Structure 1
Amino acid sequence: MPFRPVTSEKLSSAVVRQVEELILRGILSPGKRLPSERELAERLGVSRPSLRDAIAQLQERGLLSAKASAGVFVSDSLESGFSPALAELFARHDEAAIDYIAFRRDMEGLAAERAARLASDTDLAVISAIFTKIKDAPDNQPADQAAALDAQFHMAIIEASHNVVMLHMMRAMYDLLRGGVFYNRQIMFKQQTKRAELMDQHRAIHDALMARDAPAARAAVETHLTYVERALLDQQRTARHEDVARQRLDQELGN
């Protein structure tokens, strides 16, 4: 018969499982500092020796790391899904940036569709709160802050899709984007005309999600990222034209 004796779970094993689930679901993100040992033991309702045992197991699995005099953190290594050599290769080739946007369009369109169907009311409240920050931002908001809010908005939609594989994969993709591997996304946020267009696109995404209209949410994301792709192609074309113009100027000046 397929029955086995029932055994009570060690407290440390229960702690390990809970922390793993929080990391898997993206609630504990890479670089996040855990509460102090005393506070965490109290929150979990376990002894400090049981907690230490759990933390040691999680460190062995590469999920947590300890920093001297700073505490215990979720491992930074969980954030990057690409080797430095591959990231540098992407940065040297324009086609990688176009493929990146195409990949985002497919994945984020699916994420928006799933979020419209599967997100909880609280998930939608988070998305709406971030959208409000974007909408209420002053016209002179620094480009880096506008770009950060944009990424936060998109990641909230991915989180609301409730697919943990997609969540961690897209976090790795956004880590490359924040590092400027594919293109300088802040350029778009320096131009008021583009900011206005991006605002309208974000509003369309937001409104479709609030209405739980899955096809409209997917279409709005795809329209937005097609616009981003076109803007990137324009940036690349302008850069090439500028390079040629500088060569002509050097020729005229006899350099």
Structure 2
Amino acid sequence: MPFQKVLPEKISTAIVRQIELLILRGILRPGERLPSERDLAERLGVSRPSLRDAVAELQEQGLLTARPGSGIFVADVLGSAFSPALVRLMGSHDAAMSDYLSFRRDMEGLAAERAARLGSDSDLKVIETILSKMEQAHKTGSAREESGLDAQFHMSIIEAGHNVVMLHMMRSMYDLLQQGVFYNRQAVFAQAEAREALLDQHRAIARALIARDGAAARRAVETHLDYVEAALTDRRRAEANEEIARQRLDHETKSP
């Protein structure tokens, strides 16, 4: 008969499984610091030796990392998504920006449809909360804060789709954006007219999600990213024209 004795699970194994799931689901994020050993043991209701065994195993797996004097952190498991050489290559070619935005348009459009259909009420509340923070940052004129919340807003839509593969893949894409590989997000938000338009676009996305209208949510995401691409193209064209104008001015002022 295909039956085996049921063996009690080690406490440390149960801890490992719980933390693994939190990382897999994107709840514990790369670079996030875990609570102190004492605090975490109390939260989990386990002994500190059992917790130490679990942490050691997760470190061996490469999911956690220790920083002397600072604590235990979730490892940057996204670091291997793109090699440094490929990152440099993509960052040095303008066409990569268009390809990047095209990829996001397809994936985030799909994610928005999933979020409208599968997202829980709490998922949608997270999206609303981030949008409220964006509106507040907009009122105070904090372009840096608003641009940071922009990435959180889009990531919250991915999370609401509840697909862990898409979650980690897109998180790696946003990590490149945070590094300014494709474009400087703050430069887009620095323009008053663009900031107003971008906020309205995020509101439209949120409205469609709250109404659980997947098709409308996808269209709103596509409209938003089309606008971003057009704004970036115009900005690069303006910068190129300004460089030509400076050369012309320099030539005229130095001519006899």
Q: TM-score, normalised by structure 2?
A: 0.94
Please state how far the C-alpha of 1:251 moved relative to its aligned partner. Answer: 2.7
Distance across 2 between alignment mates of 1:243 and 1:73: 45
Give 1:7-26 correspondences, 5 Å limit: 7-26=7-26
Q: C-alpha displacement at 1:63, in angstroms?
A: 0.5
CA shift digits 1:12-46 (9 cap, x unpaired): 11111100000011111111111111221122122
How far apart are the structure 2 equivalents of 1:12 and 1:246?
66
In 2: Cα distance, 1:6 partner to 1:77 partner: 34
Deviation per CA, 1:27-81, whole angstroms, max 9, x where unpaired? 1111111111122112212222211111111000110011112111111344562
Q: Over the residues paired in the alignment, what is the CA RMSD in angstroms?
A: 1.6
2:86 partner letter: L
Q: Which residue of 2 aligns with 1:105?
A: 105
Q: 21-30 or 34-43: which moved more? A: 34-43
8 Å Cα contact 2:134-2:149 kept in structure 1: yes
Query: Over residues 147-202 of structure 1, what are the superposed CA-to-partner deviations in whole Å (9 max), with x where a residue is unaligned?
Result: 01111111111111111111111111111111111012212211221112112211
Distance of 1:99 and 1:61 partners within structure 2: 34
Change (3 A) 1:142 1:91: same
Partner amino acid, structure 2, of 1:43: R
Answer whether contact 2:137 2:143 (CA < 8 A) is retained. Answer: no
For residues 80 and 208 of structure 2, the distance between their equivalents in structure 1, rounded to whole angstroms, comes to 31
What percent of counterpart residues are identical?
65
Tell me the equivalent position of 1:119: 119
Residue 187 of structure 2 corresponds to 187
Alignment match, 2:197: 197
Structure 1 segments unaligned to the other structure (5+ residues): none
For the 8 Å contact 1:80–1:175, the answer to whether it is kept is: no
Measured after TM superposition, the shift of residue 107 of structure 1 is: 0.7
Partner residue, 1:208: 208
TM-score by length of 1: 0.94
Farther-moved stretch of structure 1 (78-87 vs 199-208)? 78-87
Q: What corresponds to 1:176 in structure 2? A: 176
Q: Give the aligned residue type for 1:159.
A: E
